[in-house]
Amino acid sequence: MIQAATDRIVIVGAGDHGRVVLDLFRALGEQPAGFVEAHPGPDDGARVVDGLAVIGDLESRLEWQDGSPRFVVALGDNQARREAFERCLGLGLRPAMAIHPSALLLGGAAVEPGSSICAGAIVGVGASVAANSIVNTGASLDHDDRIGAHVHVAPGAHLAGHVIVAEGAFVGIGASVRDGSRIGAWSVVAGGAMVVGDVLADAHVAGVPARPMPHAPEAQHAEERA
């Protein structure tokens, strides 16, 4: 359920993941005030995405701030999401928290404001998700996992117990992570990988078992848009 609020909510990012977050809010019976883009676009003033208007951006069209709405940043790219999140905080706004009604938070699980727990996701016993992170559709975090800020756990990824995912890391679609592993800050675990040990910060790993690979930002961004 969404954290109780008496004010409006805006979704930062009107792309594919923005549509996912909009559907999440509607499943909760909430209707956001509109989309806000991270950067201005030529047609933003006339854009409507899935029935919700783009009402501004974070750089030039700031009228949407009236009433100090809460916000959720719906950008799949972790760095872009962090920048937009910090920009919103700098504007004095408060993050909302969105948890799809079909998601499960088990005993002692904790989710910080600004994060999105999508349809069918599971946050296990004693697990925690820090601010501005995404646990995407059908992903699962087992007991006592620790998910840092600005992390994206992609659809269908599964983390065993006592896994630590440091700030800004990306765990790709269908990836699996063995219990007790640590995924370093701003690293990338490719889709379908099987992580059986620690992943260094800023590393890019792929395969079964997962091994270090050359950085491939274009592949990462393609997965993050999912």
Separation CA 78–CA 181 (nearest Å): 21
- Tokens describing residue 103: 């998601």
- Tokens describing residue 53: 């208007």
- Helix (H) / strand (E) element for 188: namely strand 188-189
Using alpha carbons, select from 95, 112, 119 the residue that is nearest to residue 27.
119
**152 annotated active-site:** no
Both ends of the chain: CA-CA distance in Å? 23
- Dihedral (CA of 30, 34, 35, 38) sign: negative
Separation CA 87–CA 111 (nearest Å): 21
Separation CA 212–CA 190 (nearest Å): 10
Separation CA 59–CA 83 (nearest Å): 12
Contact call for residues 106 and 124 (beta carbons, < 8 A): yes
Of the residues 100, 143, 150, 152, which is catalytic? 143
**Catalytic residue list:** 143
